[in-house]
Chain A
Amino acid sequence: MATIDLTNGRQPEAVHAGLNVIDIRISLSVSVSAGDILLIGKLPANAIPLDCVFYGGTAFTNTSLGHVFKIGTSASQDMFFASATYSITNSSAPTIRNTRLLGTSVQNSLSDDAMPRYDYIVLVNTAPLMSVGYMGDFILSYKMPGQKF
Protein backbone atom coordinates (compact mmCIF):
# COMPACT_ATOMS: atom_id res chain seq x y z
CA MET A 1 0.00 0.00 0.00
CA ALA A 2 1.40 3.34 -1.02
CA THR A 3 0.30 6.89 -1.60
CA ILE A 4 1.36 8.16 -5.01
CA ASP A 5 1.10 11.82 -5.99
CA LEU A 6 0.20 12.41 -9.65
CA THR A 7 -0.70 16.08 -9.29
CA ASN A 8 2.75 17.60 -9.98
CA GLY A 9 2.21 20.33 -7.42
CA ARG A 10 -0.23 22.32 -9.51
CA GLN A 11 -3.07 24.31 -8.00
CA PRO A 12 -6.64 23.65 -9.13
CA GLU A 13 -8.70 26.18 -11.03
CA ALA A 14 -10.97 28.23 -8.82
CA VAL A 15 -12.83 30.70 -11.00
CA HIS A 16 -15.61 32.30 -8.99
CA ALA A 17 -17.86 33.05 -11.98
CA GLY A 18 -19.23 30.32 -14.17
CA LEU A 19 -18.43 26.65 -13.93
CA ASN A 20 -15.09 24.95 -13.30
CA VAL A 21 -14.25 21.58 -14.76
CA ILE A 22 -11.24 19.38 -14.04
CA ASP A 23 -10.39 16.60 -16.48
CA ILE A 24 -7.99 14.08 -15.01
CA ARG A 25 -6.35 11.66 -17.42
CA ILE A 26 -5.41 8.54 -15.50
CA SER A 27 -2.58 6.86 -17.35
CA LEU A 28 -0.39 4.44 -15.40
CA SER A 29 3.13 3.37 -16.34
CA VAL A 30 3.58 1.09 -13.36
CA SER A 31 1.26 -1.45 -11.87
CA VAL A 32 -0.84 -0.50 -8.87
CA SER A 33 -1.31 -2.69 -5.84
CA ALA A 34 -4.44 -3.19 -3.81
CA GLY A 35 -4.83 -0.44 -1.27
CA ASP A 36 -2.66 2.03 -3.15
CA ILE A 37 -3.94 5.58 -2.97
CA LEU A 38 -3.38 7.69 -6.08
CA LEU A 39 -3.56 11.45 -5.58
CA ILE A 40 -4.93 12.24 -9.01
CA GLY A 41 -5.99 15.88 -8.66
CA LYS A 42 -6.92 18.73 -6.38
CA LEU A 43 -10.26 20.26 -5.50
CA PRO A 44 -10.17 23.83 -4.19
CA ALA A 45 -11.27 24.50 -0.63
CA ASN A 46 -14.95 25.52 -0.53
CA ALA A 47 -15.68 24.12 -4.01
CA ILE A 48 -19.16 22.67 -4.52
CA PRO A 49 -19.02 19.47 -6.64
CA LEU A 50 -21.91 19.39 -9.09
CA ASP A 51 -21.43 16.32 -11.27
CA CYS A 52 -18.83 13.84 -12.44
CA VAL A 53 -18.30 11.14 -15.00
CA PHE A 54 -15.65 8.51 -15.69
CA TYR A 55 -14.81 7.56 -19.27
CA GLY A 56 -12.92 4.30 -19.38
CA GLY A 57 -9.79 4.19 -21.51
CA THR A 58 -8.07 1.60 -23.64
CA ALA A 59 -6.39 -0.11 -20.69
CA PHE A 60 -9.68 -0.11 -18.86
CA THR A 61 -11.26 -2.22 -21.56
CA ASN A 62 -8.32 -4.61 -21.87
CA THR A 63 -9.86 -7.04 -19.45
CA SER A 64 -13.30 -8.39 -18.85
CA LEU A 65 -12.38 -9.06 -15.24
CA GLY A 66 -13.21 -5.52 -14.28
CA HIS A 67 -11.44 -2.97 -12.15
CA VAL A 68 -12.20 -2.41 -8.50
CA PHE A 69 -11.64 1.10 -7.24
CA LYS A 70 -13.26 4.13 -5.69
CA ILE A 71 -12.85 7.84 -6.40
CA GLY A 72 -13.36 10.67 -3.94
CA THR A 73 -11.41 13.09 -1.84
CA SER A 74 -8.83 12.32 0.81
CA ALA A 75 -11.43 12.98 3.48
CA SER A 76 -14.16 10.96 1.76
CA GLN A 77 -12.59 8.44 -0.58
CA ASP A 78 -15.84 7.23 -2.11
CA MET A 79 -17.51 10.61 -2.48
CA PHE A 80 -17.79 10.37 -6.27
CA PHE A 81 -17.69 6.66 -7.01
CA ALA A 82 -18.14 3.92 -4.43
CA SER A 83 -15.85 0.94 -4.35
CA ALA A 84 -17.19 -1.41 -6.98
CA THR A 85 -16.19 -3.50 -9.92
CA TYR A 86 -16.25 -1.39 -13.04
CA SER A 87 -16.10 -3.62 -16.05
CA ILE A 88 -16.64 -3.44 -19.77
CA THR A 89 -19.21 -6.13 -19.26
CA ASN A 90 -21.16 -3.67 -17.16
CA SER A 91 -23.88 -2.25 -19.38
CA SER A 92 -23.03 1.30 -18.34
CA ALA A 93 -19.27 0.94 -18.85
CA PRO A 94 -16.97 2.36 -19.99
CA THR A 95 -19.00 5.52 -19.39
CA ILE A 96 -19.82 5.68 -15.71
CA ARG A 97 -21.99 8.52 -14.48
CA ASN A 98 -22.27 9.81 -10.96
CA THR A 99 -24.98 8.34 -8.74
CA ARG A 100 -23.88 10.11 -5.56
CA LEU A 101 -25.71 13.00 -3.94
CA LEU A 102 -23.50 15.97 -4.70
CA GLY A 103 -24.22 19.68 -4.39
CA THR A 104 -24.06 21.93 -1.35
CA SER A 105 -24.27 19.04 1.11
CA VAL A 106 -20.76 17.90 0.11
CA GLN A 107 -19.11 21.29 -0.25
CA ASN A 108 -15.38 20.86 0.24
CA SER A 109 -14.59 22.19 3.71
CA LEU A 110 -11.24 20.57 4.47
CA SER A 111 -7.72 21.19 3.25
CA ASP A 112 -4.73 18.93 2.66
CA ASP A 113 -2.42 21.91 2.65
CA ALA A 114 -1.36 23.99 5.62
CA MET A 115 -3.31 26.84 4.09
CA PRO A 116 -6.96 26.12 3.19
CA ARG A 117 -6.25 25.77 -0.52
CA TYR A 118 -7.21 22.32 -1.77
CA ASP A 119 -8.26 18.80 -0.95
CA TYR A 120 -6.83 15.91 -2.92
CA ILE A 121 -8.97 13.98 -5.36
CA VAL A 122 -7.98 10.37 -4.85
CA LEU A 123 -8.42 7.08 -6.64
CA VAL A 124 -8.05 4.07 -4.37
CA ASN A 125 -7.40 0.72 -5.96
CA THR A 126 -9.29 -1.72 -3.78
CA ALA A 127 -8.38 -4.98 -5.55
CA PRO A 128 -5.23 -6.01 -7.48
CA LEU A 129 -6.62 -5.82 -10.98
CA MET A 130 -5.71 -2.36 -12.20
CA SER A 131 -4.01 -2.38 -15.58
CA VAL A 132 -1.00 -0.47 -16.77
CA GLY A 133 -1.85 2.07 -19.45
CA TYR A 134 -4.63 4.54 -20.15
CA MET A 135 -7.27 3.78 -17.53
CA GLY A 136 -9.58 6.62 -18.37
CA ASP A 137 -10.61 10.19 -17.73
CA PHE A 138 -12.29 11.36 -14.57
CA ILE A 139 -14.16 14.61 -15.15
CA LEU A 140 -15.52 16.67 -12.28
CA SER A 141 -17.50 19.90 -12.59
CA TYR A 142 -17.64 22.19 -9.59
CA LYS A 143 -18.62 25.69 -8.71
CA MET A 144 -16.82 28.11 -6.46
CA PRO A 145 -18.89 30.20 -4.08
CA GLY A 146 -19.99 33.19 -6.06
CA GLN A 147 -22.98 35.48 -6.01
CA LYS A 148 -25.17 33.25 -3.90
CA PHE A 149 -22.97 30.85 -1.96
Chain B
Amino acid sequence: MATRQLGLSYQTGQPEAVHAGENAYIVRLSFSVTVSPTDTWNIGKLPVNAIPTDAIFYGGTATGQGTFAAKFGTSASPSAFFASATYSAAVYRTTKRLGTAAQFSLSDDKMPRYVNLQMVGTAGATLGYVGDLIVFYKMPGQAL
Protein backbone atom coordinates (compact mmCIF):
# COMPACT_ATOMS: atom_id res chain seq x y z
CA MET B 1 0.00 0.00 0.00
CA ALA B 2 1.38 3.35 -1.00
CA THR B 3 0.21 6.86 -1.73
CA ARG B 4 1.37 7.98 -5.13
CA GLN B 5 0.90 10.86 -7.51
CA LEU B 6 -0.25 10.72 -11.09
CA GLY B 7 2.48 12.67 -12.90
CA LEU B 8 1.53 15.89 -14.61
CA SER B 9 -2.14 15.53 -13.81
CA TYR B 10 -1.48 16.09 -10.11
CA GLN B 11 1.64 18.22 -10.23
CA THR B 12 0.48 20.87 -12.67
CA GLY B 13 -0.69 23.97 -10.86
CA GLN B 14 -3.99 24.69 -9.25
CA PRO B 15 -7.34 23.43 -10.51
CA GLU B 16 -9.54 25.72 -12.54
CA ALA B 17 -12.03 27.67 -10.44
CA VAL B 18 -14.01 29.88 -12.78
CA HIS B 19 -16.89 31.43 -10.86
CA ALA B 20 -19.11 31.92 -13.91
CA GLY B 21 -20.44 28.93 -15.81
CA GLU B 22 -19.30 25.40 -15.15
CA ASN B 23 -15.87 23.82 -14.75
CA ALA B 24 -14.75 20.37 -15.81
CA TYR B 25 -11.73 18.46 -14.59
CA ILE B 26 -10.39 15.75 -16.88
CA VAL B 27 -7.99 13.09 -15.65
CA ARG B 28 -6.48 10.71 -18.16
CA LEU B 29 -5.55 7.66 -16.10
CA SER B 30 -2.62 6.18 -17.97
CA PHE B 31 -0.06 4.31 -15.89
CA SER B 32 3.45 3.27 -16.87
CA VAL B 33 3.98 1.48 -13.56
CA THR B 34 1.83 -1.26 -12.09
CA VAL B 35 -1.08 -0.12 -9.95
CA SER B 36 -1.44 -2.48 -7.02
CA PRO B 37 -4.50 -3.11 -4.90
CA THR B 38 -4.81 -0.72 -1.96
CA ASP B 39 -2.58 1.86 -3.67
CA THR B 40 -3.92 5.36 -3.19
CA TRP B 41 -3.29 7.63 -6.14
CA ASN B 42 -3.61 11.39 -6.01
CA ILE B 43 -4.83 11.87 -9.55
CA GLY B 44 -5.81 15.53 -9.50
CA LYS B 45 -7.03 18.51 -7.53
CA LEU B 46 -10.43 20.08 -7.09
CA PRO B 47 -10.90 23.58 -5.66
CA VAL B 48 -12.10 24.08 -2.11
CA ASN B 49 -15.78 25.09 -2.05
CA ALA B 50 -16.44 23.55 -5.46
CA ILE B 51 -19.84 21.90 -5.84
CA PRO B 52 -19.61 18.69 -7.89
CA THR B 53 -22.51 18.48 -10.32
CA ASP B 54 -21.78 15.31 -12.28
CA ALA B 55 -19.09 12.71 -12.95
CA ILE B 56 -18.44 10.33 -15.82
CA PHE B 57 -15.89 7.58 -16.18
CA TYR B 58 -14.94 6.37 -19.65
CA GLY B 59 -13.26 3.02 -19.19
CA GLY B 60 -10.02 2.26 -21.00
CA THR B 61 -8.12 -0.75 -22.23
CA ALA B 62 -5.49 -1.32 -19.54
CA THR B 63 -4.03 -4.68 -18.69
CA GLY B 64 -6.07 -6.54 -16.10
CA GLN B 65 -9.05 -4.24 -16.59
CA GLY B 66 -11.43 -7.13 -15.93
CA THR B 67 -10.05 -7.85 -12.47
CA PHE B 68 -8.73 -4.48 -11.34
CA ALA B 69 -11.13 -2.73 -8.99
CA ALA B 70 -10.97 0.85 -7.79
CA LYS B 71 -13.02 3.64 -6.33
CA PHE B 72 -12.90 7.31 -7.19
CA GLY B 73 -13.46 10.26 -4.91
CA THR B 74 -11.65 12.77 -2.79
CA SER B 75 -9.18 12.31 0.04
CA ALA B 76 -11.96 12.94 2.55
CA SER B 77 -14.46 10.70 0.77
CA PRO B 78 -12.65 8.17 -1.45
CA SER B 79 -15.83 6.85 -3.07
CA ALA B 80 -17.53 10.21 -3.54
CA PHE B 81 -17.91 9.71 -7.30
CA PHE B 82 -17.69 5.98 -7.95
CA ALA B 83 -17.84 3.09 -5.50
CA SER B 84 -15.37 0.24 -5.59
CA ALA B 85 -15.96 -1.87 -8.71
CA THR B 86 -14.31 -3.24 -11.82
CA TYR B 87 -14.63 -0.99 -14.84
CA SER B 88 -14.43 -2.18 -18.44
CA ALA B 89 -14.25 -0.12 -21.63
CA ALA B 90 -17.71 1.37 -21.21
CA VAL B 91 -19.46 4.56 -20.10
CA TYR B 92 -20.16 4.90 -16.38
CA ARG B 93 -22.30 7.74 -15.10
CA THR B 94 -22.22 8.51 -11.42
CA THR B 95 -25.07 7.27 -9.30
CA LYS B 96 -23.86 9.19 -6.26
CA ARG B 97 -25.75 12.11 -4.83
CA LEU B 98 -23.70 15.13 -5.73
CA GLY B 99 -24.61 18.80 -5.56
CA THR B 100 -24.46 21.03 -2.53
CA ALA B 101 -24.53 18.08 -0.14
CA ALA B 102 -21.14 17.04 -1.52
CA GLN B 103 -19.54 20.48 -1.65
CA PHE B 104 -15.82 20.31 -0.85
CA SER B 105 -15.22 21.98 2.47
CA LEU B 106 -11.82 20.54 3.35
CA SER B 107 -8.34 21.25 2.05
CA ASP B 108 -5.29 19.09 1.44
CA ASP B 109 -3.12 22.18 1.41
CA LYS B 110 -2.28 24.40 4.39
CA MET B 111 -4.22 27.14 2.69
CA PRO B 112 -7.81 26.26 1.69
CA ARG B 113 -6.95 25.85 -1.97
CA TYR B 114 -7.68 22.32 -3.14
CA VAL B 115 -8.80 18.85 -2.18
CA ASN B 116 -7.09 15.83 -3.69
CA LEU B 117 -8.96 13.84 -6.29
CA GLN B 118 -8.13 10.20 -5.60
CA MET B 119 -8.27 6.74 -7.08
CA VAL B 120 -7.94 3.92 -4.56
CA GLY B 121 -7.21 0.45 -5.87
CA THR B 122 -9.20 -2.23 -4.09
CA ALA B 123 -8.40 -5.45 -5.96
CA GLY B 124 -6.20 -6.79 -8.73
CA ALA B 125 -3.48 -4.88 -10.53
CA THR B 126 -3.34 -2.93 -13.75
CA LEU B 127 -1.03 -1.15 -16.15
CA GLY B 128 -1.77 1.16 -19.06
CA TYR B 129 -4.81 3.26 -19.98
CA VAL B 130 -7.38 2.74 -17.24
CA GLY B 131 -9.73 5.43 -18.53
CA ASP B 132 -10.79 9.06 -18.34
CA LEU B 133 -12.42 10.44 -15.21
CA ILE B 134 -14.36 13.66 -15.72
CA VAL B 135 -15.76 15.68 -12.84
CA PHE B 136 -18.07 18.61 -13.51
CA TYR B 137 -18.27 21.24 -10.81
CA LYS B 138 -19.49 24.71 -10.14
CA MET B 139 -17.87 27.35 -7.98
CA PRO B 140 -20.13 29.34 -5.68
CA GLY B 141 -21.37 32.23 -7.76
CA GLN B 142 -24.57 34.14 -8.18
CA ALA B 143 -26.87 31.68 -6.48
CA LEU B 144 -24.63 29.78 -4.08
Contact = CB atoms under 8 A, between A and B. Distances in A.
Contacts of A103: 26, 28, 58, 131-132, 134
A104 B26 contact: yes
A81 B62 CA distance: 25
Interface string A88-102: 000000000111111
Contacts of B8: 148
Interface size class of A (residues with CB under 8 A): 20 to 34
Interface size class of B (residues with CB under 8 A): 20 to 34
A105 B132 contact: yes
Nearest to A103: B132
Interface string A121-132: 000000000000
B5 to A, nearest CB: 13
A51 interface: yes
Interface in B12-44: 12-16, 18, 20-24, 26, 28, 44
13 contacts: A17-B18, A18-B18, A18-B20, A18-B22, A50-B26, A50-B56, A51-B134, A102-B58, A103-B26, A105-B60, A146-B16, A148-B13, A148-B26
Interface of A: 17-19, 48, 50-51, 97-105, 141, 143, 146-149
